[in-house]
Structure 1
Amino acid sequence: MTSRDTSPALVADIGGTNARFALADLSPPRPALREQRSLKAADFASLQHAVEHYLAEVGATPKRAAIAVACPVDGDEIRLTNRAWSFGREALRRALGLDALHLLNDFGAVAHAVPRLADDERTHLYGPTDAPLRGPVSVLGPGTGLGVALLVGDDAHGWQVVETEGGHVGFAPQGEEEQTLARWVTARFGRASNERLLSGAGLSHIDAALRGIDPSVSVQDGALRDPASIVNAALDGHDAVARRALARFCAVLGSVAGDCALIHGARTVAIAGGIVPRFLPFLRASAFRERFLAKGRFAALLETVTVRLITHPQPGLLGAAVALRERHDKGSA
């Protein structure tokens, strides 16, 4: 890093629900984050509006930025998948007075963070416990949507991130209850993708289907329960449908994680997102592991895959900073 690059950079992780920001010092081997803020995306008319609010609040005028967004980032025109925000890459750079703006997918950012996580920023779930991070790594997790990315390489030769939209792969139901869920989601949306079940809204969909709610019901009618309330009710132990819904969510997550591992040839699976850390003991006791391994002749292969839960509070921000640092080191930022 040269002296001209010592000023902090802006990093952001923009999802459908929250817009997270920080200033990043890119000088250390692992970028340092400060002035972290999480804003409600619904409070702002646009990404530019949210960024300007944050920068005014912290009194910063950065010249470089890395912004992770929950959508594909090809081309100049960017449209978020689960938030009615769109913007032009170059227009946003000029409006914010930046010399350089790097855009990346939100789970691509999480994947960039994975090799930089400390031991206390991840939790072992299943598989070999004493192995260092082994690639390929499938990175996935439910939040507002379902993010999926692929990390390839190793510590010796460097890591490369492949951004994907794997959360929108078609749902493959197992058993009659999941067939019911698939029919409910298809009736509501015209198609049953994994994200329609493995997300905050997806947990609400599972719960509603199990309670026999009409799939055409409006969100405004209040018939769909908030995902946080479903989790709380399930953990409290007195709501049988909420426990069924969360148990089914965990089972489907295990199935999808196993599918991702086979597709990617993964030796490690890293689960992220804002939902799963809220009910880790419930996940451990669920059918997640059984469904992860339920791949016929390849169950033995999946036994060798390490499964970890990311517990770092803001891996998207860290990953955006890592990506910006790497671009600088390669001379492209």
Structure 2
Amino acid sequence: MTTPDGSQRELALIADVGGTNARFALTDPVTPAPEIIEPRSLVNAKFASLQHAAEHYLAEVGAKPRSAAIAVASPVHGDEIRLTNRAWSFTRAELRQALNLDHLAVINDFGAVSWAVPALQPGEYVTLHGADDAPLRGPVTVMGPGTGLGVGLLVGDEKRSWEVIETEGGHVSFAPLGDEELMISRWLTARFGRASTERVLCGAGLSHIDAVLGSNGNAPNDVALRDPADIVKAALEGHDVAARRALARFCAVLGSVCGDAALIHGARTVMIAGGMVPRFIPFLRSSAFRERFLAKGRFASYLESVTIRVITHANPGLLGAAVAAREALSEATS
């Protein structure tokens, strides 16, 4: 394929497929550093399947890759893959055949974000706590709210090769603190049968928090929910007290969950990603996030030394998929 710089290269397909959007790009898996070529974002609702979305993208950019690394928001064990927050499913074998690929790597979406972390450059993240120029220290907890709540783990250090451990940590049980969070937990349990952390820390979760707090826990199951983007916008503008209350509670819960994950992982660094948090970093700084992150009794001093950063790279999932494509090629040719 002729790339934007006019060269002919054998490119691989990369993708970051969430519950709402599917982001596609191409990458050259043999360049010195991972790169993202011809990125496009497609709305999942416009396509019947991942295959159709991928075919649409490849036709649009005129590419016929022979290998691909695709990150999906779901567990990726076994041949059959079912997205958690989108009614798409496929088997690795069928997708590889349909897209005429020789090699296909399927990874978890926050596994991809975890792969991206060592490849981030200064300016592609914001430090909430710790030194801006501090080296990346593992283990690294990688997590973030978007359509769902992704959690990954990166182990190793800059002197050794990094290793990604994919997890489904977003689906652990929600541990409420205080009357407001107990009210939220009860309402979510009544509505869904269980209150997981993801039910709180995602776009829909912010809408649920807004509805519960606005009704003092009496919102009916069929209540009309405000769009999470509208809640964030209203909270940042400063005139909507209910929106600010909902976003403040969201940030507080995020602090608790990040602190819990850091203790579970033995993390020295926490990287927050996802489509939501980069939109309100100043609000997060002024919220109870840090207080709740440290509120772990005897281990508060341990968490004081943990570096916390927010990833601001536009497409960390694609960057991680590009890294994964390089790893897959290396394994296939070794």
State the 1:125 CA deviation: 0.4
CA distance in 1: counterparts of 2:59 and 2:332, whole angstroms: 29
1:156 has 2:159 as partner: yes
Whether the 8 Å CA contact 2:29–2:329 is kept in 1: the answer is no
- Aligned residue for 1:35, secondary structure, equals strand
Whether the 8 Å CA contact 1:197–1:205 is kept in 2: the answer is yes
- Aligned residue for 1:158, secondary structure, equals coil
Counterparts of residues 24-39 of structure 1 (less than 5 Å): 24-39=27-42
1:65 corresponding residue in structure 2? 68
TM-score (norm 2): 0.95
2:221 corresponding residue in structure 1? 217
- Aligned residue for 2:205, secondary structure, equals helix
**Aligned CA distance change for structure 1 residues 82 and 216 (closer, same or farther; 3 Å):** farther
State the 1:32 CA deviation: 1.3
Give per-residue Cα distances to partners, 1:100-154, cap 9 Å, x unaligned: 1100000000000000000110111013444200000000000000000000001
1:174 has 2:177 as partner: yes
- Aligned residue for 2:332, secondary structure, equals coil
TM-score (norm 1): 0.95
1:208 has 2:211 as partner: yes
2:298 corresponding residue in structure 1? 297
Counterparts of residues 85-234 of structure 1 (less than 5 Å): 85-212=88-215, 216-218=220-222, 223-234=224-235
- Aligned residue for 2:38, secondary structure, equals strand
**Aligned CA distance change for structure 1 residues 93 and 216 (closer, same or farther; 3 Å):** farther
CA distance in 2: counterparts of 1:329 and 1:177, whole angstroms: 51
CA distance in 1: counterparts of 2:128 and 2:89, whole angstroms: 38
CA distance in 2: counterparts of 1:332 and 1:312, whole angstroms: 30
1:271 has 2:272 as partner: yes
User: In the alignment, residue 217 of structure 1 is paired with which amino acid?
Assistant: N
1:48 corresponding residue in structure 2? 51
1:78 corresponding residue in structure 2? 81
User: In the alignment, residue 282 of structure 1 is paired with which amino acid?
Assistant: F
**Aligned CA distance change for structure 1 residues 119 and 22 (closer, same or farther; 3 Å):** same
State the 1:216 CA deviation: 4.8
State the 1:175 CA deviation: 0.4
Gaps of 5+ in 1: none
1:241 has 2:242 as partner: yes
- Aligned residue for 1:217, secondary structure, equals coil
CA distance in 2: counterparts of 1:63 and 1:201, whole angstroms: 37
User: In the alignment, residue 59 of structure 1 is paired with which amino acid?
Assistant: G
User: In the alignment, residue 8 of structure 1 is paired with which amino acid?
Assistant: L
Whether the 8 Å CA contact 1:6–1:27 is kept in 2: the answer is no
2:4 corresponding residue in structure 1? none
- Aligned residue for 2:42, secondary structure, equals strand
CA distance in 1: counterparts of 2:292 and 2:62, whole angstroms: 49
- Aligned residue for 2:19, secondary structure, equals coil
- Aligned residue for 1:302, secondary structure, equals helix
State the 1:155 CA deviation: 1.6
CA distance in 1: counterparts of 2:333 and 2:303, whole angstroms: 38
State the 1:324 CA deviation: 1.4
CA distance in 2: counterparts of 1:109 and 1:301, whole angstroms: 28
State the 1:332 CA deviation: 6.1
Whether the 8 Å CA contact 1:200–1:227 is kept in 2: the answer is yes
Identity of aligned residues (%): 69
**Aligned CA distance change for structure 1 residues 242 and 288 (closer, same or farther; 3 Å):** same
State the 1:82 CA deviation: 0.0
CA distance in 2: counterparts of 1:130 and 1:53, whole angstroms: 41
State the 1:25 CA deviation: 1.5
CA distance in 1: counterparts of 2:282 and 2:117, whole angstroms: 22
Gaps of 5+ in 2: 1-7
Which has the larger displacement, 319-328 or 308-317? 319-328
State the 1:31 CA deviation: 1.4
Give per-residue Cα distances to partners, 1:228-268, cap 9 Å, x unaligned: 00001111111111100000000000000000000000000
Whether the 8 Å CA contact 2:29–2:322 is kept in 1: the answer is yes
CA distance in 1: counterparts of 2:309 and 2:142, whole angstroms: 10
Q: Which stretches of structure 1, 4 residues or longer, exceed 6 Å deviation after superposition?
A: none
Between Structure 1 and Structure 2, how many residues are aligned?
326
- Aligned residue for 1:331, secondary structure, equals helix
CA distance in 1: counterparts of 2:32 and 2:46, whole angstroms: 35
CA distance in 2: counterparts of 1:331 and 1:224, whole angstroms: 48
